[in-house]
Structure 1
C-alpha cells in the first residue's frame, strides 16, 4: 500500500514537472525538507497568548507554542511544520498575501543583476546584498576545516555539522530578508519593473563575460568608444534594460490611433 502511494506521488510529481508548474523532482535527503502538513485546521486550533507568542494544536502532540513573526491570517485551513538545516523548527500557515499596491505614477525602472553588485537600478542606485560579516566568515572557514577532519558518524562531526548549518542558515536568512525588502520597495516605487533574464550560476562559474574589453575599463567603469560617454557599467546596463523594455511594450501595444476612440476601458496588466 505504501509503495503504491509512493508510485502515485512520483507520477504526479513528474506530471507537474512536464506541465511546467513545478520543478524537477529530487530524492529526499536526511536533514533537508523535514516536516509535515496539517490540513482542515479549525479556528479554535490557533490561539494567541501574547504580543509575540501563540500556540497551535498539533494532532497527537497537543498544544505547541511558537513565536509570532507576523499576525496569523484569518480563515487559514492548513499549516506546515518544517525543520531546517540549522535544527530550527518553523511553522507556516497557508494563506494568500495581499498584493502590494502600485504607486500609479507611471514610473519605469530597469534592474541589472550581477555578482559584484547584487542589483543596479537605472536611477543610479547600487544595491548590495548583505551576508556574513568578516568575523562570521572566518568562523565558518574554521568550522569547515574542523568538519573535514571529523570522523564520519561521530558525535563530534554531528555537532560541528550543526554549527556549520546554523552559519549557513544565518546567511540565507539575511539574503532572503534583503531580497524581500528590496522587491517590496521597488514594487511600491515603480509601476513597471524590467529585469534581464540571467543565469547567475553560469555567470559565477565563468566570470569572463561577453562585454567589450576596450569599452569596459574595469568591472564598474564603462566608456563608450563612439561618443566617449563614461559611467557605471551596471547602471548603464540597467538603463539599456529599461529602454529595451519600453520598446517591447510599445511594439506589443502597436501604433496608437490619433484622436478620441470610443471603446470600453480596459485595465492594463503589468507583471512585476
Structure 2
C-alpha cells in the first residue's frame, strides 16, 4: 500500500475516532455471533444477513445512525473476508478489536475517489462524516478504489491507498546472492557485505529501561501511568520506524542488484515462541529452570532485526526471484570444501574449517552456502550429485 501521513484538526480527530469506535463495535458484534457457533446449531449469519441486521440496528440506535453506513458495512465485509482467510488456512483466527490498539476504518467505492491535490506538498481527502482532511504528499497518489485510515499507538494518523505497485524488474545480470539473517548482524550477504538494522541508541535504551521501571511503580488508571505509557510508545514507535525504513531500503537494493535472492527457510513464529515449563517430578507444584529469560532476549533480538519483514518485502518486490533454502547446518559447512562439523564454527563471528583451513566471517560463509543452495543431510554430509550405490561407469569416448 501507499501510505501517507494524515494531518486532521483536533475536531476532525474526534470525528475520526468516533468512526473507528463504530467500526470496531460492528466488528466485535460480528465476531461474537461467529464465536457462538456450536455443532448442534445451524450456520452463523453471513455478510448479507449481518448487513440486514445492521440496517435494523441503525434504525434503532441513534449512535450508529449518526455514523457512516459505508464504514460500518465495510467492517462487516472485512470480518467476512477474515473468516474466509481463516478457513482457507492463510491467516489466523479473527480476534477482538480493542480501543487504542485497533483504531481504523476502510472506505471503498465512489467515496474512495474523493481526493484532491492542493499543491506540491499537500493533498486532501473527503472522509465520510468528517469532511476534507489534509495529508502530506510524500509520493504520487495512486489510483486506488479503496483506502484505510488508521491511528497508531502514538496517536499518529495515516491514510493508506490499496494500490499494489509493480515488482522491481530483474537487472538481467544472472547474479545470485545469499542472505543469512542473524541477531548480531541483521543480514550478511554472500558478496561479503554485513548489514545491520538500526535500533535505539544506548541513550534511548537507557531511557526506555527507566520508563519501564517507572511504569511498574505507577498506579493503574493514574495520569502518571498514562504519561509513562505514551513516552514508552514514542520510543518503540521510533525503533519500529527505523526498522521498517531499513527493510524497505535493503529489499529494494537487493531486488535491483540481483536476479535470484536466496534466503533460509526459517519458521520465525515457532522460533520466537516462549519455552514450555518443566515440572519438577520430585517436587509437585514446582518447576525446573528452563532459561526463559535468556530465550526472551533471543526472541527480542530476532524480532528487532526484522527477519520476517525482510523476506516478505523481498517476495513483494522481487516476485518469483526469491528462493528459500533448507537452513540445516549452513553455518557449520565450509563454503570451499563442503566439510561440515560443529568445530568449524569457532564463535559467533569466526569460521575456520578443520579440514581445509579456510577462514572467513561465519555469517558470510553461511551466506555463500545459502547462495549455492547447499543443504546437508541428517548425517551432516553434503549431498552428492549421484547415488552412492551406483556402480562406477567407464568413460565413453567422444
Q: Does 1:40 align with 2:169?
A: no
Q: Does 1:163 align with 2:269?
A: no
Query: What residue in structure 1 maps to residue 357 of structure 2?
Result: 228
- Greater percentage in helix: 2
Q: Does 1:151 align with 2:228?
A: no
- Alignment RMSD (CA, Å): 2.6
| C-alpha deviation, 1:99, in angstroms | 1.5
The 5-angstrom pairing of residues 41-190 of structure 1 reads 41=110, 45-74=114-143, 76-190=144-258
| Structure 2 residue corresponding to 1:19, chosen from 88, 92, 106 | 88
The answer (yes or no) to whether the contact 1:34–1:83 under 8 Å persists in 2 is: yes
| Structure 2 residue corresponding to 1:205, chosen from 295, 316, 329 | 295
Query: What residue in structure 1 maps to residue 39 of structure 2?
Result: none
| Cα distance in 1 between the residues matched to 2:243 and 2:264 | 20
Rate the CA distance shift 1:200–1:238 in 2: closer, same or farther, 3 A: same
Query: What residue in structure 1 maps to residue 100 of structure 2?
Result: 31
Q: What TM-score results when the alignment is normalised by the length of structure 1?
A: 0.81
Q: Can you give the 5+ residue segments of structure 2 that lack an aligned partner in the other structure?
A: 1-25, 35-45, 47-75, 273-293, 299-327, 333-340, 376-384, 386-398
Q: Tell me whether 129-138 or 169-178 shows the greater mean CA deviation.
A: 129-138
Q: Tell me whether 45-54 or 215-224 shows the greater mean CA deviation.
A: 45-54
| Cα distance in 2 between the residues matched to 1:44 and 1:193 | 37
| Cα distance in 2 between the residues matched to 1:102 and 1:136 | 39
* Higher CA-based Rg: 2
Rate the CA distance shift 1:236–1:137 in 2: closer, same or farther, 3 A: same
Rate the CA distance shift 1:126–1:168 in 2: closer, same or farther, 3 A: same
| Cα distance in 1 between the residues matched to 2:151 and 2:189 | 36
- What SS does the aligned partner of 2:373 have? helix
Q: What TM-score results when the alignment is normalised by the length of structure 2?
A: 0.57
| Cα distance in 2 between the residues matched to 1:84 and 1:42 | 23
| C-alpha deviation, 1:12, in angstroms | 5.1
The 5-angstrom pairing of residues 232-271 of structure 1 reads 232-244=361-373
Query: What residue in structure 1 maps to residue 56 of structure 2?
Result: none
